[in-house]
Amino acid sequence: MHEPIADPANRDAATPGQGMLELGVCYYPEQWPRALWEEDARRMAELGLTWVRIGEFAWSHIEPRPGEMHWEWMDEAIDVLGRAGLKVILGTPTAAPPKWLVDRYPDILPVDAAGRTRKFGARRHYCFSSRRYRIEAARIAEAMAERYGRHPHVHAWQIDNEYGDHDTVHSYSEEAAIAFRAWLAARYGDIEALNEAWGTAFWSMRYNGFDEIDLPNGLVEEPSPTHLVDYFRFSSDQVRDFNRLQADILRRHSPGRPITHNFMSQNTDFDHHALGADIDIASWDVYPMGGLVNGRLSEADKARYLRHGDPDLVSFHHDLYRAVGRGRVWVMEQQPGPVNWAAYNQAPADGMVRLWTWLAYAHGVDMVSYFRWRQAPFAQEQFHAGLLLPNSEEDQGFREVQTVIAERSLLPSGEERQKARVAFVLDYDSRYATRALPQGRSYDASHVAADWYAALSRLGVDVDFIGQHSDVDGYALVVAPDLVIPDPAFVARLAASKARALFGPRSGSKTKDMHIPADLPPGPLARLLDISVTRVESLPPYHQETVLYGNTRFAASGWRETVRTGNDVLASFAGDYRPGAPAVVGNEKARYCAVLPEGALLMKLIEDCLHWAGVETMPDLGDLRLARRGRLTFAFNFGNEPVDAPVPTDARILVGAQKIAPGDLSIWI
């Protein structure tokens, strides 16, 4: 079940570090001849790396047969790395259970939505709900923690690897069905309460007991949206419970060593805020090239940014995971060259590994670890670059890390990311709601949020992410592009604060039970806005609405709402259908957008709201992005032409120059 989440201000474990960016690498000693280990460790240290992650896929090497533990190779690997002066991040190996375990307990395997068991032969082949797998995961985690928990060279722990990768949060196994029924019984207590919440009177879907309930897959028609959202909530809680099981073991045997998990980009299958409460540092895996190809931008923009990446998607996730880690965030895997897993796998422009490293530091990251030390000449990731080529020659990424290390000495230490003036709400229940009821084939809440974030970034504004558990005091503007299920307690805190708020369409449109609010949307947000939403439309891409905002007409598409309001009408629809109807409304406290703003309309809306809230902005930066960390200002050019950075006349440039080349950066103080 959902539990309270720690407030971001509570920082109860010290972040390792020396007040300046630290660097590391991912290493797999079990994949290389023993004769290479000392040389690799020496070269890592000589390069200037201080952290090395190992072990997250090593279970079959530790325990090749049931109960037969082979620790000697890992003992030696940790000692070799430690003697070279490297600090080890040790991964629990539960993302890849060995074949003998699958053969002994086949019910640990996940089942996809089509009912097919997902077999052994890759990774992440387990179901979070498997009771047997939880026992085995706890057993191997405890064995590692007992052996290495107080080892002088083991300085941090990573639990598992990339929850959510390969669509593995949602399993439809019998074990998941059993766990889901128990979760529902705990949530609702009485089956009639569930029937009421799920609206089972609608299609004669009534249940007489929790044991009658199935998982929401393989149905003739779509399930009740509440059934589906509850399944998403349940699946998220299963991930958190699985993670917490290992976190508790590690804390017991390895006191004082911080615990992390490496999250992913563009994945909201589980609540990162909730899981973040159980770890000390949030980390994530940064792959901008694949993120671009598989991402939100148009094909024209993907072509334009082909070798530089989406200018905003990486920063979006740095800021998100900084919040998840309550101010503490690492990059556990930084792309150093082409990858192997995207639809297409282009190489980054020379200089981008350096740029991405400083981008991370600018957004509050304290340690960047590159994936991987040496490119593998075998198995699934042969095309995935490392810092070294398969023959141990230095690759481009290695040389760019050398540049970063040289530049690091030019910067003052101890500079910390300051609290922003703008807070950006990412609520996972609301994401589940739009996944269950998108109401339009092209609607993607993740893309909407990234577009809003990009508009803020183009205006030079730093952003903090928050959830509905967060305090909003000290923010001038709270931006919520898709707060579908607002928590009345969050709304009350927002109402009591001095912050102003901007809400996107669909905000407040559903209760926690996925019903239309009794007094119509925006539900609890009516405390802030005098509006009622009486009709919603999803619109096809071949149709465009016209919005009159000030004296300018803007095109809009995708979504439109009809609202009644006693507030000021700031923009209105100007097309053939209901001309003059409100498109943006507001008062002194809050504004609401009844259309899905994109492009020029979105930029106009965001700029107006920033000025309304008293937040200083820059002129549209185009392909340039700014970020601030303490006294330092960073400027990054994601475009294909040189640009002038807005360096104040009294500033001193520490890295780069005022004229920034494509794929380059400047840092000033």
Given the residues 56, 162, 407, 598, the one annotated as active site: 162
Residue for token pair 């107080």: 150
- The C-alpha angle with vertex 99 and arms to 95 and 103, in degrees rounded to 5, equals 120
Please tell me what DSSP assigns to residue 266: T
Please tell me what DSSP assigns to residue 494: H
Our answer to whether residue 162 is catalytic in this structure is yes
CA–CA separation, 281 and 321 (whole Å):
9
The 3-state DSSP class for residue 589 equals coil
- Residue closest to 58 by CA, chosen among 102, 93, 99, 100: 93
The 3-state DSSP class for residue 370 equals strand
How many residues make up the chain in this entry? 669
CA–CA separation, 13 and 401 (whole Å):
29
Q: How many CB atoms lie within 10 A of CB 34?
A: 11
The answer, yes or no, to whether the previous bond of 216 is cis (omega within 30 of 0) is no
Give burial (CB, 10 Å; 0-12/13-18/19+) of 321.
buried
- Residue closest to 127 by CA, chosen among 155, 108, 103: 108
- The C-alpha angle with vertex 398 and arms to 320 and 377, in degrees rounded to 5, equals 95
Q: Which two tokens stand for residue 152?
A: 């002088």
User: What is Dmax (Cα atoms) for the chain?
Assistant: 76
The residues facing 585 across adjacent strands are 569, 592
Report yes or no: 558 and 598 within 8 Å, Cβ to Cβ.
yes
Residues with Cβ < 8 Å from 336, sequence gap 6 or more? Answer: 353, 370, 371, 372, 385, 386, 387, 395, 396, 397, 398, 400
Identify each DSSP E strand in 44-178 by its residue range: 51-54, 87-91, 154-158
Q: Which two tokens stand for residue 6?
A: 């720690």
- Sequence-separated contacts (24+) of 652-658 with Cβ below 8 Å: 654/410, 654/411, 655/358, 655/407, 655/410, 655/411
The residues facing 89 across adjacent strands are 53, 156
Please tell me what DSSP assigns to residue 523: G
- Residue closest to 248 by CA, chosen among 126, 171, 169, 137: 137
Residues with Cβ < 8 Å from 367, sequence gap 6 or more? Answer: 17, 21, 22, 23, 24, 51, 330, 331
Report yes or no: 444 and 435 within 8 Å, Cβ to Cβ.
no
- The C-alpha angle with vertex 628 and arms to 606 and 268, in degrees rounded to 5, equals 60
CA–CA separation, 516 and 508 (whole Å):
9
The residues facing 537 across adjacent strands are 560
The 3-state DSSP class for residue 275 equals helix
Given the residues 22, 136, 175, 333, the one annotated as active site: 333
CA–CA separation, 259 and 167 (whole Å):
24
Residues with Cβ < 8 Å from 437, sequence gap 6 or more? Answer: 225, 510, 514
What does the DSSP assignment read for 115-146?
SPBPPSSSS----TT-HHHHHHHHHHHHHHHH
C-alpha dihedral sign at 270, 273, 275, 279: positive
Just list the catalytic residues: 162, 333
